Amino acid sequence: MKQADLHVHSLYSEHPDEWFLKRLGAAESYTDPETVYRQAKAKGMDYVTITDHNRIQGALLLHERYPAEVIVGVESTVYFPEDKCKVHILLYGITPEQFEVIQKVRKDIYSFREYVLEQGIVHSVAHATYAVNDRLKMHHLEKLILMFNVFEAINGGRNRMNNQGWAEATNRITPEHIEEFFGRHRIEPHGDTPWIKGYTGGSDDHAGIFIADTYTSVETVTLEGFIQGIANRQGRPGGRHNTFQGLVFSIYKVAYDFSREKGKALHVSPIGSITESIFENRALPMASRIKSNGLRSFSRKKKGNGDLQELLITLIEAAREERPTEARLDHLYKSITETTDELTVMLLKSIENDLGHGDLLGLLGTLSSALPGLFLSAPFFTSFKHLFRSRELINALNRKFGGNGRGKKILWFSDTINDMNGVSTTLQNFGRISRAQDRDVKIVTSTGEMVARGLNAPYLLNLPPIYSFSLPYYSSQLLNVPSILGSLEKLYHEDPDEIIISTPGPIGLLGLLTAKLMSVPAVGIYHTDFAAQAEYLTDSESETEMLDDLVRWFYSQLDRILVPSSEYVEILAARGIDRGKMQLFHRGVDPDVFFPKPLGELEFCEKFSIAPGVNLLYVGRVSKEKNLDFLLDVYRELLKSHRDLNLIIAGSGPHMTAYSKRLHEFPRMALLGRVEQPMLSELYSSCDFFVFPSTTDTFGMAVAEALACGLPVIVSDVGGPQELFNPGKAGLVLPSNDLQAWVDGISDQIKLISRDSYLHLQMQMAARQSSLQRTDWERFINEIVSDPAIPETADASCEEVVA
């Protein structure tokens, strides 16, 4: 058995594709051919090759020195002439004369293939699913399958998804597929069994780090036999697949080589400091270098700048330690993560301070001085996207040739998970029920309270926060910012097929970023009308408009938007959100949790400390935008003719203290605070009417829960709750903020209880029936999880997903 790394680059390669290296003006590789030979032999390779992009100088130099061990190779950039789509094809054992012809014919893949077959040149299509210039489509892959019989199955520069996806797909090619492709493209396949493919493996190393970590094995004893074994489809690929950390490690190494080769002053930047410490075994005067870049000016403005300097110095010193490659990769990533986390926290603190003091110049200065430090994390994002850019093709291949049958894996991102709101309720129910059904779903959030609040369920992925801030007008509501690089590492290993986003906060933005980087569909759920709420909470028209612009931008980035009511489809369309992306859905209520279980009057009054009487119930956030001031005005008027009327408010929020101060004004008003689910069902079932005057709710989870418990509801005619039941049968829909209409409507319902108890019972039954018809959790989960893919173009009309 002989082995060789059949895909390696040297300093003779053409210009790089990676934007970061282009930005520096660096070459694709600075590895000397002799270094390639030494490292390959040191790792046990029997033969050595260099496959530079469209160059053979390095391979020829090495062949002159070691003719019995070196294969002259090249990675040719070849074009489909009809659309200029690029592919890379590896050639082995070529002569300079053949190379000259190859350079001419590679502009046309059909002429190239004809020449290669005519000359009997051994070849392998490199990283077939990698869209070199973003033009690669399924029909190109079908043509490649017809034209060539050997492909690179493990490319050390690509991740496992790409390598295995292509290898598994081509292993399933049948004679029927070949016949189908021939009928479509009229390209004559080569050989008697073109459905049987051969494979190679190579590191695709550009930085001299991973040489021979990926390789090809052939059962032979000679160099000629090795090359012929590749042509005969006898190669066995093996070794390392890449990770995004490994790709960045390579980029850093090339950047370091560039600075050393050209004498560029990269050492004044964080990247230069890190690369020199990693790739040279010597100490660096880090403190003086910090003074030379933007980090120093940023640090000088902030408290704790010594901690940042110490962190960077520790990073440099620790990176100099001798470690195996994978251990150095892990250490580098953790160190840079820690460094960028510190910079991010300092930046966010400064932004919060500058905005709080209205110092826009200070804010701009903060941003500009922090950028050099944050710049060191940029290659991680581009590398992340680079490795996942072929996902759509891989998915198409799985569908074409029969994939591994894995069910759809979903990551659901939310900034809130344990608050008193519909988002949290939806997520907890979805996670619990989908896990019971063995669905592959995880809720992604960030909180330090997971274990303490009992939220350590297996369906939760908690990203520890590095920074927290309060929402304006909601001082008790914290938004957490997790480590970006630390989070990406965890999300990389999750490898989702779809991302759902419930909130446009830091976690929602992380979900959007992840979807873009991993090339998976991003589905947004429009839970909250922030613009409408802002109108209640602030008198600033500019703040409301700015918030509306941000929300519109966020949802415009999504592939699909699930909207809980037809009214909000119209509202969002009027605000400029693409109607074609919107789809109706109704969230579920678990009928096994919320169902009628009323307490006796005496037991109810004792349990909740409420006087006997008629009970109006509100459940939800206790805050101004829920229109509770209007509800109190209605209640005051009702008390004039219904003295035994109770108003029960269950929930918490920023205005709890303000309403507590009004208890003397309303002695029959009860503020229960947060009520947990088991007791909440009893509360719903034991009251007479549910009142919900909000005009900013897109759905109304509490309304749906009340209906499930058989409680008739009274809601505003603005927003989503009005669509959850049949008005007149299960409750009332009243004009928003019309005091007299609400007083008259509720008064009539109170009189109904004493006048016609049977009719009230019918309303209770209709309420329960409305819930069962409109809010089925299992159906909702099936719609979300079982959908194989989001269509490229949404229908112009909103398709309804009733759940």
Cβ atoms 802, 585 nearer than 8 A: yes
In this predicted structure, the answer to whether residue 406 has a pLDDT above a threshold of 70 is no
Average confidence score pLDDT of the chain: 82
Q: Per-residue confidence at 308, pLDDT binned at 50, 70, 90?
A: very low
In a domain, 388, yes or no: no
| Residue with more model confidence, 318 or 535 | 535
| Residue with more model confidence, 257 or 387 | 387
Could you report the per-residue pLDDT of 607-624, keeping only the tens digit for each?
988 999 999 999 988 888
The end-to-end CA distance of the chain, in Å, is 59
Cβ atoms 23, 382 nearer than 8 A: no
Could you report the per-residue pLDDT of 195-228, keeping only the tens digit for each?
999 999 999 999 888 999 999 999 999 999 999 9
**Residues 630 and 749 placed together within one structural domain of the fold:** yes
Could you report the per-residue pLDDT of 129-143, keeping only the tens digit for each?
998 888 999 999 999
Tokens matching residue 417: 């998970």
Q: What is the pLDDT of residue 174?
A: 95
In this predicted structure, the answer to whether residue 336 has a pLDDT above a threshold of 70 is yes
In this predicted structure, the answer to whether residue 791 has a pLDDT above a threshold of 50 is no
In a domain, 415, yes or no: yes
Question: Which of these, 601, 242, 545, 587, lies nearest to 429 by C-alpha position?
Answer: 587
- Bridge partners, residue 461, by sequence: 444
Could you report the per-residue pLDDT of 60-101, keeping only the tens digit for each?
999 999 999 999 999 999 999 999 999 999 999 999 999 999
In this predicted structure, the answer to whether residue 489 has a pLDDT above a threshold of 50 is yes
Could you report the per-residue pLDDT of 158-175, keeping only the tens digit for each?
999 899 999 999 999 999
**Residues 522 and 623 placed together within one structural domain of the fold:** no
Region 318-347 average pLDDT = 73
Could you report the per-residue pLDDT of 670-697, keeping only the tens digit for each?
999 988 877 899 999 999 999 999 988 8
Q: What is the pLDDT of residue 3?
A: 97
Cβ atoms 602, 633 nearer than 8 A: no
Could you report the per-residue pLDDT of 581-615, keeping only the tens digit for each?
998 876 667 777 889 989 888 999 999 889 999 99
Distance CA(774)–CA(631), nearest Å, equals 27
**Residues 200 and 234 placed together within one structural domain of the fold:** yes
- Calculate what percentage of the chain has a pLDDT beyond 90: 44
**Residues 623 and 577 placed together within one structural domain of the fold:** no
Q: Per-residue confidence at 262, pLDDT binned at 50, 70, 90?
A: low
Last residue of a domain, one of 242, 268, 302: 242
Instruction: For helices 325-356 and 484-494, give the axis angle rounded to 10 degrees.
Output: 130
**Residues 104 and 39 placed together within one structural domain of the fold:** yes
| Residue with more model confidence, 269 or 37 | 37
| Residue with more model confidence, 334 or 152 | 152
**Residues 378 and 419 placed together within one structural domain of the fold:** no
In this predicted structure, the answer to whether residue 41 has a pLDDT above a threshold of 90 is yes
- Calculate what percentage of the chain has a pLDDT beyond 70: 77
**Residues 306 and 207 placed together within one structural domain of the fold:** no
Q: What is the pLDDT of residue 207?
A: 87
Q: What is the pLDDT of residue 373?
A: 57
Query: Cα 344–350–356 angle (5° rounding)?
Result: 135
Going through 126-182 in order, the beta strands assigned E by DSSP cover 150-155
Question: How many domains does the chain fold into?
Answer: 4
| Residue with more model confidence, 489 or 264 | 489
**Residues 641 and 755 placed together within one structural domain of the fold:** yes
Q: What is the pLDDT of residue 30?
A: 86
Q: What is the pLDDT of residue 511?
A: 94
In a domain, 799, yes or no: no
Tokens matching residue 245: 């950390």
Element (H, E) at 42: helix 33-42
CA 304 to chain centre: 33
- CATH number, domain at 649? 3.40.50.2000
Q: What is the pLDDT of residue 22?
A: 60
**Residues 145 and 222 placed together within one structural domain of the fold:** yes
CA 734 to chain centre: 41
In this predicted structure, the answer to whether residue 724 has a pLDDT above a threshold of 60 is yes
Q: Per-residue confidence at 21, pLDDT binned at 50, 70, 90?
A: low
In this predicted structure, the answer to whether residue 49 has a pLDDT above a threshold of 90 is yes
Region 720-735 average pLDDT = 90
Region 737-757 average pLDDT = 91
To 10 degrees, the CA torsion angle through 444, 449, 454, 460? 10
Q: Per-residue confidence at 43, pLDDT binned at 50, 70, 90?
A: very high
In a domain, 593, yes or no: no
**Residue 16 contacts by C-beta under 8 Å, 6 or more apart in sequence?**
22, 26, 27, 28, 206, 254
In this predicted structure, the answer to whether residue 319 has a pLDDT above a threshold of 50 is no
**Residues 61 and 196 placed together within one structural domain of the fold:** yes
Structural domain of residue 266, as residue ranges? Answer: 255-383
Region 761-775 average pLDDT = 82
Region 113-123 average pLDDT = 97
| pTM of this structure | 0.77
Could you report the per-residue pLDDT of 457-479, keeping only the tens digit for each?
677 888 999 988 876 655 556 78
Could you report the per-residue pLDDT of 662-672, keeping only the tens digit for each?
888 899 999 99
**Residues 150 and 202 placed together within one structural domain of the fold:** yes
- CATH number, domain at 134? 3.20.20.140
DSSP string, 354-385: HHHTT-HHHHHHHHHHHHHHHGGGHHHHHHHH
**Residues 80 and 216 placed together within one structural domain of the fold:** yes
In a domain, 324, yes or no: yes
In this predicted structure, the answer to whether residue 650 has a pLDDT above a threshold of 80 is yes
Distance CA(492)–CA(497), nearest Å, equals 12
- Matching residue, tokens 């790792």: 43
In a domain, 394, yes or no: no
Region 646-656 average pLDDT = 90
In a domain, 72, yes or no: yes
Q: What is the pLDDT of residue 775?
A: 59
**Residue 4 contacts by C-beta under 8 Å, 6 or more apart in sequence?**
40, 45, 46, 47, 48, 49, 71, 215, 216, 226
In a domain, 248, yes or no: no
Tokens matching residue 657: 């203290």
Distance CA(416)–CA(461), nearest Å, equals 13
| Residue with more model confidence, 296 or 530 | 530
Lowest mean pLDDT among 250-259, 379-388, 748-757: 250-259
Region 631-650 average pLDDT = 94
Lowest mean pLDDT among 181-195, 568-582, 724-738, 750-764: 750-764
